[in-house]
Amino acid sequence: MLNIENLHCQVETQEGEEKPILKGLSLNVPAGEVHAIMGPNGSGKSTLSYVLTGRDGYEVTQGSMVFEGADLSELEPEERAAAGLYLSFQYPVEIPGVPTITFLKEALNAQRTARGEDEVTAPEFMKLIREKAKQLGVSMDMLKRPVNVGFSGGEKKRMEILQALVLEPKFMILDETDSGLDIDALKTVSEGVNALRAPERGMLVITHYQRLLDHITPDVVHIMANGKIVKSGGPELAKELEAEGYDKYLGEAA
């Protein structure tokens, strides 16, 4: 479903210099599977999530990223979204003045229009969002508030998952979804993610800690260091990392 081959990516720093971050990363995530990427800070995990979704300033210099046969580097961010790529942000962005409900309806209908599907009507949308909000324990009152404004870290992450439940993407990238969550919020969010697991959907779970993987069991765990995957294995690899740390992989990658 998602095929990344020898991907090199550089990022423009604040000083205006080009800094290589991804240095030959290869990864295949078939439909129906959940892959976890674990790695120390600075290994390029977030860069991977941004280059896949097309953020400005993340430039592919070599290699390829193909999603269901389409070359992602040819698509604008909104086209990638309409193709089914969804990023749950590590730091969800506040948008003052735009109510969450308006934002989500706008996003859903923009994606549907881009795919040549009919827009959902206002009543249909309200029914949909009520149902999904209930599933995640989000109040309608919260949905009327501007996107992420004044929400706690946990609430923001919950909203990211709610948005995914409404948009029903084909592929989800969860970037440090566990950061800022207490144990109850972690459970709720994980349940939301698990509800989205499906044979036709792929997921990439990016995390620093093993904690999240106790709740969302991955099919494959990859260890990332210095811009590439240095080891892949089953869920037991996450446990090993938790016990032994990243040190030995940092040496291998250098």
Partner 1 sequence: MTATLTHTPAEQALIDALEGATGWRAQLREATRREGLPTRRHELWKWSDLRRAANDVTAPGRITVTGLDTPITDGARIELCVAATAGASAADAELVIPAGAKVTLIERYSAEAGALANWHLGITLEAGARLDRVIIATDTGDSAFIASAEIVLAPEAHLHQRALDFGGRLSRIETHVTHPGEGAEVDLGGVYLLDQGRHADSTSVVHHTGPGGVTKQLVKGAAAAKGHGVFQGKFMVDRAAQQTDARMTHRAMMLDDRAEIDAKPELEIYADDVQCAHGNALGALDETALFYMRQRGIPAVRARALLIESFLAEPLDAIADETLREDLKAQLRTRLEALS
Footprint of partner 1 (CB under 8 A): 53-56, 76-78, 80-82, 86-87, 89, 92-98, 103-104, 106-108, 110-111, 114, 146, 163, 167
Pick the closer one to partner 1 by CB: 90 or 226: 90
Half-sphere exposure of 222 (CA within 13 A, CB side): 22
Neighbours of 44 (CB within 10 A): 23
Pick the closer one to partner 1 by CB: 166 or 229: 166
Pick the closer one to partner 1 by CB: 99 or 154: 99
CB of 184 to partner 1, least distance (A): 26
Radius of gyration of the chain, Cα coordinates, nearest whole angstrom: 18
Pick the closer one to partner 1 by CB: 23 or 105: 105
CB of 222 to partner 1, least distance (A): 23
CB of 88 to partner 1, least distance (A): 10
Instruction: Let me know: does 209 contact 45? Beta carbons within 8 Å.
Output: no
CB of 238 to partner 1, least distance (A): 27
DSSP string, 108-170: HHHHHHHTTPPPPPHHHHHHHHHHHHHHHT--HHHHHSEETTT--HHHHHHHHHHHHHHH--S
CB of 55 to partner 1, least distance (A): 5
Pick the closer one to partner 1 by CB: 167 or 230: 167
Nearest to 169 by CA among 68, 69, 99, 74: 68
Burial 235-248 (b: 16+ CB within 10 A, else e): bebbeebeeeebee
CB of 243 to partner 1, least distance (A): 35
Pick the closer one to partner 1 by CB: 173 or 238: 173
Pick the closer one to partner 1 by CB: 43 or 53: 53
Residue 115 to residue 108: CA distance in whole angstroms: 11
Distances (CA, A) of 144 to 101, 112, 147, 167, 185: 6, 22, 9, 18, 21
CB of 223 to partner 1, least distance (A): 26
Instruction: Let me know: does 52 contact 85? Beta carbons within 8 Å.
Output: yes
- Sheet bearing 85-88, strands edge to edge: 85-88, 171-175, 202-207, 34-38, 220-225, 228-233
